[in-house]
Structure 1
Amino acid sequence: MDVLIIAGNARSLMANRGDLIREMLAQGLEVGAAVPTADYLPDVEALGIAIYPIDMGRTGVNPMHDLRTLHELYKLIRKIRPSVVFSYTSKPVIYGSLAAKMAGVPRIYSMITGLGHLFTTDTPRTRRLRRVLSMLYRAGLSCNDRVFFQNPDDLKEFTDKRILSKATKAVRTYGSGVDMARFARQPLPQGPLTFLFIGRLLGEKGIAEFCEAANLLKQRYPQVRFVAVGPHDPSLPHACDIQDLERWKREGAVEFVGGVEDVRPWISECSVFVLPSYREGTPRSVLEAMSMGRAIITSDAPGCRETVEPGINGFLVAPRTSAPLADAMERFIHEPEMVATMGEASVELVEKYYDVRKVNRVIMEAMLLTGPVERHAVEQECT
C-alpha cells in the first residue's frame, strides 16, 4: 500500500480528508484508512479505499487501552506495509506515529488539526493532563518527517514548548481547505437578518456566548433570527450542560436544529455566520460559510482569527464573553449593506488561500507525492 491514513473518526475522514484522498487516488496511489470502531460509519466505504476498523478511545488517557491501541496499529501497519503513514488528531498522531516508526515505515507525517479541550481549559486536572499529552506528542512527533499545522498559534506553541523539537519539520497549511464547487457562492436570503452557528454544542465552541448574545438582541430586534445547527453529545466531558440547553430552548431566542447531514441549505438561509470558538485548528464551518459568500463573526483566538480580515469580510470578537459578540451582530443589524460586501470579500479570501486544490497541492508536495513540475508550482505559490 502507498498511503495509510490514521483517522480521528469516520465522519472527519469523509468531510475533512475526502478531497485529499480523491487527489491521492487520482495520482494512482493505493490508499487505506484506519478508523476507530467507536466512530465507524458505513458511509465511509464510499470513499473507495480500504478501511481498517481499530480500537481507539475518543478521549482521555488510559495507559492500558492506549497500549492496546498502539499494539493494534503496529500489527495493522506490519500487515499492510504502507510506504507512507499520515495521521491527524491527537491519538492517531501519537500512537500512529509511534507504531509506524516501530514497524519501519519509510515516511511518516502528521497534521495538527487543533489542540482541543485540554488547551482551552485551565484547571489543575487539565494542567496535569496537558503535561502528559505534551510529552506523548513530543514522542510521537519525533518519529515524523514533516508535521502540518493549520494555524501559526499551534505551530508557535509546539515549537516554543519543544513539543516539536525541530521547527524545520513544520509545514503551514490553510486549514484542510474547502471545495469551492461543492460550497459554491449562494445568493443572500430574503427576509429577516439571520445569524447562524454551526458546530457541536460544546462549551469551547462558544455556544453559551452565542445564546446569551442572541437573548440580549432578540429583546431589541424581535424580527432577527438566530439559528444553531449541531448535535449535543452529553457523553463528551466538555459538552454544554443539558440544563443550560433546555433553558436556552425555553427562552426561545435561538432556534436549535440538531445535527444535519448537509449544512449547505442552512448556510444558504443565513445572512452572517457566527463561531465564537475558544480555539480551533482552522474551523471548517467558517471556511464553508465563506466559500458560500457569507460575512463572518468569529473569535480573536488561535485558528479562528486567520479566517477574518477585520472590517473586510467580518469581525473578530474577544472569546469567552457575549457582550462583544452581541455588539458585532448589532453592527450588521444597523448596517445590513455590510452583509453583501463582506460576503463577497469572504469568497475572495477563500479563492486566494483556502481553495482545497491549493491546500492539497501543498500537502502532497510536502509528502513527496507530486512530480517535479507540480512541485515547482507549489513552491511559487507558497512564496
Structure 2
Amino acid sequence: MKILILSNYANGLYLFRKEVLQAFTDKGYETVISVPSDENCRKLEDMGFQVIPTEFERRGSNPVHDFKLFVKYTKLLRQQKPDVVLTYTIKPNLYGGLACRIKRVPYLVNITGLGTAVEKQGLLGKALIAFYRVAVKKAACVFFQNEGNQQFMLTHGVGKERSRLLPGSGVNLQEHPYVSYPSEDKGIIFLAVLRMMKDKGIEEYLTAAEQIAGEFQESRFYLVGEYEEESRKTYEPWIQRLSEEGKLKYFGHIDDVPKVMAQSHVIVHPSYHEGLSNVLLEAAACGRPVLASDVPGCRETLQSGLSGLTFPARDTEGLVRAIKTILSYTKSDRQEMGLRGREYVEHVFDRRKVISIYLEEIAKQINK
C-alpha cells in the first residue's frame, strides 16, 4: 500500500501533520512526499519518508508554469503508482487532483483555506472555483477545515459528490501541554505568530502595537514569523522602526514557537481568512487567551467571551478595542480564559481525532 502526499511546503507537513504521516507508517503504508525543495525537507527525511522535490511557484499564476506542474504530477503518478493520493493547498489540490482524475488514481483533497482570490469572487476567483469543480469531481473525499468554507464551496458545486469536515489539523496535546500563566510583573505580552503578508493581518497588528504601546506602558508586543520576499520591502522598515522605538520585539522565523508562546500572556491572530488556525489551537493548548479575527477558521477555535475575544477582520480599531478590553481584565480573568481554552481544545481539537478520520477514509479505498 503506497500513499503519495502532494503539498506546497515541507514545514507545514512537519509541524501540523507529522503525526498523521507517522500513523500511515505505523499501519504499514509506504508514504512518499512531493514538495518544493527547501531546508525543511530534511525533517521529513529524518522521519524516514522519501521526499521528491517538485518545484513550483506557490503564489504565482503563470499558466505556462502551472501547466508544467500538472505534467510533473502526471509523470509522478506514472512513476510512483500510488494506491491513494492526498493533496494539500491550492495548486496541489488543483493540478494534482486533475492529474489523479485523469489517471484514475483514488485521491483525497484537503481544502485548508479558500484564499483571497476565491473569497473576493472576482474573475480570478470564479475561474479558480470552476477549476476546483473539475479537479475534485472524482475525489474520494474533499476535506474542509471549517463549516464556512465547506458551505461556500458546496454552494458553488465544489465537493458536492462527497465532502467531510475535519477539526483542522488538530493539535498534539502532548507536544503542546498546558503551561502555567506567567507573571505580569514586567508587563503584559501580546504575541502574534504569522507570515509578514497583508492577508495575515500584519498591518493591523503593527498599527495596533504602535498605538497601544504608546498609551499603555504595561503592554509589550512580540512578533514571530518570516517575511514573504514580495512584501519584505513594505514591512521590514516598519518592523525595524517599531523595534528601535522599543514598541515591538521581532524574533523572525524560529523553530521553538511554543517557548515564546509560553512567555506571553495573550495571543493575537488578525488573519483575514484561515482553513483552521493552528496558531490559535496551539495558543489555547498552551493555556493562553486569544484575540482573533471573526472569520471562518478562527472563530471556531475559541469560545468568544470565555476563552478569548473576536474582532472584525481588516479592522485596526476593532483590534485596538479588543486589546484594551482584555487589558481591562484582571490577571485572574486572563488566566481563567486560558484554562477554558485548554479545556475546549482537549474536547474538540485533539489531533488523534484527525488521524482517525484520515485512516478511516484511506481504509475505504483499500477495501474497495
Pairwise TM-score range, normalised by the shorter structure:
over 0.9
1:187 to 180, 183, 202: 180
Q: Deviations over 1:45-66 (max 9, x none)?
A: 1121111111322112222212
Moved more, 298-307 or 65-74: 65-74
Find the counterpart in structure 1 of residue 46 from structure 2: 46
Does residue 314 of the first structure (1) align with residue 313 of the second (2)? no
Q: CA contact under 8 A between 1:14 and 1:47: conserved in structure 2? A: no
In structure 1, C-alpha distance between the alignment counterparts of 2:312 and 2:356, rounded to whole Å? 34
Residue in 1 aligned with 2:27? 27
Query: How many residues are matched?
Result: 364
Structure 1 residue 297 and structure 2 residue 296: aligned? no
Q: Is the 8 A contact 2:41 2:51 kept in 1?
A: no
Q: TM-score, normalised to structure 2's length?
A: 0.93
Alignment deviations for residues 312-344 of structure 1 (CA, whole Å, 9 cap, x no partner) = 101111111122212222222221222111111
Give me the whole-angstrom Cα distance separating, in 2, the residues matched to 1:30 and 1:141. 24
1:104, distance to aligned residue in structure 2 (A) = 2.7
Task: Give, as a single letter, the amino acid of the residue that structure 2 aligns with 1:27.
Answer: K
Give me the TM-score of the superposition, normalised by structure 1: 0.89
1:164 equivalenced with 2:163 (yes/no): no
Note the C-alpha offset of 1:251: 4.4
What amino acid maps onto 1:161 in structure 2? H
CA displacement 1:155-188 (0-9 Å, x = unmatched): 111011223343xx11001110111111111011
Which whole-Å deviations, capped at 9, do the CAs of 1:108-154 have from their partners, x for residues lacking one?
1010111223245x5xxx82221222122111111311000000111
Given that residues 193 and 270 in structure 1 are in contact (C-alpha distance below 8 angstroms), is that contact kept between their aligned partners in structure 2?
yes
What is residue 93 of structure 2 aligned with on the other side? 93
- Asked whether the equivalents of residues 209 and 276 of structure 1 are also in contact (C-alpha less than 8 Å), the reply is yes
Letter in 2 for 1:153: G
SS in structure 2 of the partner of residue 319 of structure 1: coil
**2-structure distance, mates of 1:305, 1:201:** 21
In structure 2, do the counterparts of structure 1 residues 23 and 74 end up closer, same or farther at CA, with 3 Å as the change threshold? same
CA contact (8 A) 1:114 1:154 kept: yes
In structure 2, the residue matched to 1:114 is 113
Query: Structure 2: which amino acid aligns with 1:188?
Result: Y
Aligned to 2:211: 216
- 1:362 and 2:368 correspond: no
Instruction: Supply the AA of the counterpart residue of 1:159.
Output: L
Say which of 239, 257, 274 aligns to 1:263: 257
CA distance in 2, matches of 1:97, 1:137: 9
Superposed displacement of residue 79, structure 1: 1.4
In 2, the alpha carbon distance for the partners of 1:108 and 1:370 equals 9
Q: Deviations over 1:75-133 (max 9, x none)?
A: 1111111110000100101111111222231x21010111223245x5xxx82221222
Cα deviation for residue 71 of structure 1 reads: 1.3
Task: Tell me the alpha carbon deviations over residues 296-318 of structure 1, each in whole angstroms, 9 at most, x when there is no partner.
Answer: 11011121111111111011111
| Larger displacement relative to structure 2 (31-40 or 86-95) | 31-40
Give yes or no for the alignment of 1:228 onto 2:228.
no
Match of 1:71 in 2: 71
Counterpart code for 1:235: E
Q: Could you tell me the percent identity over the aligned residues?
A: 29
Give, in whole Å, the separation in 1 of the partners of 2:15 and 2:278: 9
Worse-superposed segment, 32-41 or 255-264: 32-41
* Unmatched runs of 5 consecutive residues or more in structure 2: none
Question: Could you tell me whether the CA contact under 8 Å between 1:9 and 1:39 is conserved in 2?
Answer: no
Offset of 1:236 from its aligned partner? 5.6
Residue 337 (structure 2) aligns with: 342
Q: How much has 1:38 moved relative to structure 2? A: 6.1
Query: In the alignment, is the contact (CA less than 8 A) between 1:90 and 1:137 conserved in 2?
Result: no
SS at match of 1:85: strand
Match of 2:323 in 1: 329
Q: Give the Cα separation in 1 of the matches to 2:63 and 2:324.
A: 49
Residue number in structure 2 paired with 1:376: none
Correspondence for 1:14 = 14
- Give the 3-state SS of the residue equivalent to 1:368 in structure 2: helix
1:149 aligns with 2:144: yes
2:84·2:365 contact (CA, 8 Å) conserved in 1? no
- Describe the SS at the equivalent of 1:197: strand
Q: Flag the 1:343–1:40 CA change in 2: closer, same or farther, 3 A.
A: closer
Q: Is the 8 A contact 2:3 2:32 kept in 1?
A: yes
Q: CA deviation at 1:42?
A: 2.5
- With over 3 angstroms needed to count, the CA separation of the structure-2 counterparts of 1:330 and 1:283, relative to structure 1, is same
1:139 aligns with 2:129: no
CA distance in 2, matches of 1:38, 1:45: 12
Bigger Cα displacement from structure 2, 39-48 vs 59-68: 39-48
Structure 1: give runs of 5+ residues left out of the alignment. Answer: 373-383
Q: 1:223 to 1:13 in 2, by over 3 A?
A: same
Counterpart pick for 2:171 among 142, 154, 178: 178
Contact 1:21 1:31 in 2 (8 A): yes
